[in-house]
Amino acid sequence: MSKTSSQSVFKVYRLKYDDPSLDRAGPKRDDPDWLDRALAHEHARSIPVWRNQNLVDGLNSSSPAAIVRGVELHDHAAEIVFLGMDNDAPVFAADYSELDEHEVTDLVGHGFTDLRKVGPLLSEAEAALLAYARGMLFWHRNHRYCGRCGSTTKSQKGGHLRACTNPDCRRPSFPRTDPAVIVLVDPPGGAGAPPRCLLGRSPHFLPGMYSTLAGFVEPGESMEQTVRREVFEESGVEVGEVRYLASQPWPFPSSLMIGFHATAISTDIRLHDDELEDARWFSADELLAAKARGEDETFCLPRKDSIARFLIEVWLEERG
């Protein structure tokens, strides 16, 4: 998490996997000749992806580097996507998922891994680039057929569109991101009340972990409406004011996490649906004490590269 002040009244937060240093060069996607030249460019680089895993090495060095290979392997890639320009170097994502493990190791390299395992060790720019590549290629692999007529689709515009190949249909599909809200709720109270926040525990979490509540935005909902619905469905707590803080790309596989702080108008907890096995109001002192003694299986907070942790840390900074 980095924090800068763009103006005196604004805080601009940037979370892991969000880095603007790559120029996405959107207008270039419309020029097939330019894309051909970019692929053959002497400085062209590509980010290999294999079955949702990224190729990473050098994690033991002081500056872990995501490997970016030359273009000679592109003949073996099932899909190639133009990601953008890193100064004068065109950058692509290349999907080797159709090779088996032995083939991909021989051809591309050893060290494909889940980005979430190594993201915290990578630089901001590397983590964002690998997440972008992973997200784009996941979308391609899962949109090979037209959602309207079932015909095959074909990649266009440097991989930023798939068009149906049925001449009577030609339906275009665009890379998809699923918006999800994530929210830290504090209780009504006002001055003098000890600061507390609502955290919940899913049965899928690591032992002892509690986190902010989250859920996908449904069609026809505003994000604020989703916050209120999800918190009520999961915990029985009713939410009043909702304040946006920051968002985080989370292409695992295809989400955008939109982070809020909110204030409840009720405090009784009733677990309505089956998403949480527990939800509680935690005091800021409890969270600070847990951090001070070291997090373990009896209690821990979400991983440090997540927006859930960010929402908690900002709240502790403001209220703790």
Residues that bind Zn ion (CB under 5 A): 146, 148-149, 151, 164, 166, 169, 171
Q: How far is the CB of 27 from Zn ion (least distance, A)?
A: 27
- Bridge partners, residue 242, by sequence: 262
Q: How far is the CB of 174 from Zn ion (least distance, A)?
A: 14
Q: How many other β-carbons are positioned within 10 Å of the β-carbon of residue 234?
A: 23
Report the C-alpha gap between 5 and 195 in whole angstroms.
26
Q: Is residue 201 within 8 Å of residue 209, measured between CB atoms? A: yes
Residue among 145 and 252 whose Cβ is closer to Zn ion? 145
Residue among 151 and 156 whose Cβ is closer to Zn ion? 151
Residue among 123 and 156 whose Cβ is closer to Zn ion? 156
Length of the chain: 320
Q: How far is the CB of 151 from Zn ion (least distance, A)?
A: 5
Residue among 122 and 146 whose Cβ is closer to Zn ion? 146
Report the C-alpha gap between 320 and 315 in whole angstroms.
7
Q: How far is the CB of 143 from Zn ion (least distance, A)?
A: 11
Q: How far is the CB of 169 from Zn ion (least distance, A)?
A: 3
Q: Which long-range contacts (CB under 8 A, 24 or more apart) does 268-271 make?
A: 268/236, 268/237, 269/198, 269/235, 269/236, 269/237, 270/235, 270/236, 271/234, 271/235, 271/236
Residue among 171 and 229 whose Cβ is closer to Zn ion? 171
Q: Is residue 80 within 8 Å of residue 92, measured between CB atoms? A: yes
Residue among 43 and 171 whose Cβ is closer to Zn ion? 171
Residue among 174 and 216 whose Cβ is closer to Zn ion? 174
Q: How far is the CB of 9 from Zn ion (least distance, A)?
A: 49
Q: How far is the CB of 253 from Zn ion (least distance, A)?
A: 23
Residue among 123 and 166 whose Cβ is closer to Zn ion? 166
Cα–Cα distances in angstroms (integers) from residue 260 to residues 193, 228, 257, in the given order = 21, 11, 10
Residue among 162 and 309 whose Cβ is closer to Zn ion? 162
Q: Say which residues have a Cβ less than 8 Å from residue 214's Cβ, sequence separation at least 6.
A: 180, 181, 182, 183, 230, 257, 308
Q: How far is the CB of 173 from Zn ion (least distance, A)?
A: 9
Q: How far is the CB of 82 from Zn ion (least distance, A)?
A: 24
Q: Is residue 131 within 8 Å of residue 86, measured between CB atoms? A: no
